[in-house]
Structure 1
Amino acid sequence: MNWIKPLTIVEYVFIGIFLLVYVVYFIRTYLIASRLGTSSRSVVIKFFIRSVYLGLCIIGLLGPSFGVNEMEAQATGKDVYFAFDVSRSMDAIDIEPTRLEKVKFELVKNLNALKSDRVGIVVFSSYAYVHTPLTYDRDALKLFIQKLSSDLFVESGTDLNEALKLIQTKFNGSNTPTRKARVIVLVSDGEDFGQLESDVILDLKKNRVNFLALGVGTPQGGKIRENVGFKKDKEGNDVVSKLDADYLKKLTKVLNGKYFQLSNQVNDVSALLKEVSQLENNWVDTRKMTVTNNKYFYFVFLALILMIIDVIITIRTIKL
């Protein structure tokens, strides 16, 4: 027999209180019976009945398990890759404190909405690499999101093609071939992307990859933080980066996706993650598990019967 939980201080306290109260009750009954010249042996019967059903209740609380059943468990979920644009334009201050810092804060706050999904992070600027492989570990993901920075790349630029090709390679090389639900979430201001290659578009559509985009920034734009000042152009003027929402909307339309936005006035991060979680899950794996059966109800039922007997049957200990 196995137990779901061991005896704890709670059970020991109840046992101790029962014994203490019953010892006091027994001594009191014995003294009264002695003075009246009657027998107190019948009290032992009550003590036995009550001890048994107290013990049965405690056994039931501990969760006795015996016998085994074989159960089939199915796991479902999605593979989700966040493609983070960490180019210099993501340091623009049209969203406080910066575009990148704001989106990091919102994602960390809402990431637990993706309960049963594996999530990974690809960062890109002039080229792309995997910042975090697909994982269920939400704490690790939050830590890696917090470490995102535009300093991850020395060269400036924005090459979305490289990021999408890399993600597709990781999808195709996944060690769970039964998993087919795939999602890409682009996080960017959409600035200076250039044209998306036709073979990349065809590959995404062929593999039925769900594509969502989060536009970060404002149409009015903002200056770009650089060291202690702001980034300047060749003429010495402050560079102003603007959200290119039109490009991102066109991109999502081509890929049959959806567009969301994040600014000081609009915050679609929770709506974006809700959309990801509501996408259809696919079967991932089926496993057979052997589990023991919790038989607590047998002991509780016997204890209940003894309680009823204890209440119904009265034992006379004193003769009048």
Structure 2
Amino acid sequence: MLRFAHIELLWGLAAIPFLIALFVLVSRWKKKAIGRLGDKKVVDMMIPEVSFTRPWLKFILFIFAYAFLVVGIADPRIGSKLEEVKQKSADLMILLDVSNSMLAQDITPSRLENAKRAIAQLIDNLHNDRIGIVVFAGEAYVQLPITTDYSAAKLFLNTINTDMVPTQGTAIGAAIDMGMRSFDFKNGTGKAMIVITDGENHEDDAVAAAKNAADKDVTVNVIGIGSLEGAPIPIYENGKEAGFHTDSLGKPVLSKLNETMGKEVSAAGKGAYVRATNANSGMNIVLDQIDRVQRKTVDTKNFKDFEDRFQFFLGIAFLLLVAEFFISNRKSLRLGNVKLFEVKSPTPAAGIGASQNRINTEKSK
């Protein structure tokens, strides 16, 4: 298995086509400039040392040296040992309430932002687990399919807001059902859900959905976010706060944490219930519960050791650059005068002497 420690540096290879194009253009310009000096044979006699092939050879060596140098700097590594290891892992599905009541600010800076921070901290502490995100209000949607790509998870998390679900409400049951459909029950890992909500469920039977999940060995844990006293729900226009939601009498609507609902759902789902505060999101308590119940040992195969191979590429690049340096742009006149396959004709004097020797030999006979 091959991987690069700095794979982004391989973008340097994209410069090769531009270098080739530039060299071809310069070579054509030089050829045309020499052609304007006069007849080609005469010009060749005027500049006998100039070589038109050696610059191409030097350039080819330079391009290969550059390519090996870029690959070497990117630090290629080869997995040298395949080892089967046992890892404990779980599939975690985060069900996040994005109804308007989550904008209440009894948990700073708001219920929703506080929940997103807790999820981000959870992602930072994951190692072998897979994670997915379902957002819900009056309806439920998969925001992030279950994955081990934690960078993508944090990227999707940052885009979550209360405007992404058009139907208002708090359909916890629908979110649990959506989370169940998102799991892969064939992979053998433990599975758990973490519902983060203020508990104001008005849409469906969340308790029944949690019980159905528990029957399939999926625990449903609930983090209640908000205060029992409640807080008004702000209205935002163009990114700025523009008052609060009011009832028919014009009084601000107070959104209160429904702990009873949260406890009932977690009990039916055989999970834990925790109330989040400004000081503690409750996520660690829920994870401890998942560690004891849901994480299962799964056999996986990993490349244990990765050995650096950059030295080979850098060595080849160095040798190519040395070869390019010692190749001259000019012809070697000494080598040009050596004509290994030329047959020399005998001189007139030598020819006469040879003929006379043959005549004298025949007379002596």
Q: Is structure 2 residue 94 aligned with structure 1 residue 121? A: no
Q: Deviations over 1:49-100 (max 9, x none)?
A: xxxxxxxxxxxxxxxxxxx876333444111000011111111111122110
Seen in structure 2, the aligned counterparts of structure 1 residues 91 and 108 have a Cα distance that, compared at 3 Å, is same
- Contact 2:173–2:207 under 8 Å retained in 1: no
Matches within 5 A, 1:1-320: 71-171=83-183, 174=184, 177-193=186-202, 196=205, 200-227=209-236, 228-264=242-278, 266-287=280-301
Amino acid at match of 2:132: G
Q: Distance in 1 between matches of 2:166 and 2:81?
A: 58
Match of 1:300 in 2: none
Any idea what SS the aligned residue of 1:109 has? Answer: helix
Q: Distance in 1 between matches of 2:103 and 2:154?
A: 20
* Consecutive unaligned residues in structure 2, runs of 5 or more: 6-79, 237-241, 308-365
Shift of 1:178: 2.7
Question: RMSD of the TM alignment (CA)?
Answer: 3.1
Q: Distance in 2 between matches of 1:249 and 1:292?
A: 48
Any idea what SS the aligned residue of 1:169 has? Answer: helix
Any idea what SS the aligned residue of 2:83 has? Answer: strand
| Mean Cα deviation higher: 105-114 or 239-248 | 105-114
- Contact 2:98–2:162 under 8 Å retained in 1: yes
Q: Distance in 2 between matches of 1:157 and 1:198?
A: 17
Seen in structure 2, the aligned counterparts of structure 1 residues 287 and 247 have a Cα distance that, compared at 3 Å, is same
Query: Which structure would you say has the larger RCO, counting Cα contacts within 8 Å and 6 or more residues apart?
Result: 1
Any idea what SS the aligned residue of 1:143 has? Answer: helix
Q: Deviations over 1:122-152 (max 9, x none)?
A: 0111111100111112222122222211111
Identity of aligned residues (%): 28
Equivalences, count: 228
Shift of 1:284: 3.9
Shift of 1:266: 4.7
Any idea what SS the aligned residue of 1:151 has? Answer: coil
Q: Distance in 1 between matches of 2:306 and 2:243?
A: 65
Any idea what SS the aligned residue of 2:199 has? Answer: coil
Q: Distance in 2 between matches of 1:82 and 1:198?
A: 17
- Contact 2:174–2:204 under 8 Å retained in 1: no
Q: Deviations over 1:178-212 (max 9, x none)?
A: 32411000000001345526763443122110111
Q: Deviations over 1:33-57 (max 9, x none)?
A: xxxxxxxxxxxxxxxxxxxxxxxxx
Shift of 1:281: 2.3
Q: TM-score when scaled to structure 1?
A: 0.63
Amino acid at match of 1:272: V
Q: Distance in 1 between matches of 2:93 and 2:232?
A: 29
Any idea what SS the aligned residue of 1:229 has? Answer: strand
Q: TM-score when scaled to structure 2?
A: 0.56
Question: Which one has the largest radius of gyration?
Answer: 2
Any idea what SS the aligned residue of 1:144 has? Answer: helix
| Mean Cα deviation higher: 109-118 or 122-131 | 109-118
Amino acid at match of 2:117: F
Q: Distance in 1 between matches of 2:304 and 2:254?
A: 62
Any idea what SS the aligned residue of 1:115 has? Answer: coil
Q: Distance in 2 between matches of 1:163 and 1:204?
A: 12
Q: Distance in 2 between matches of 1:266 and 1:291?
A: 39
Q: Distance in 2 between matches of 1:205 and 1:276?
A: 13
Seen in structure 2, the aligned counterparts of structure 1 residues 154 and 208 have a Cα distance that, compared at 3 Å, is same
Seen in structure 2, the aligned counterparts of structure 1 residues 266 and 74 have a Cα distance that, compared at 3 Å, is closer
Shift of 1:168: 1.1
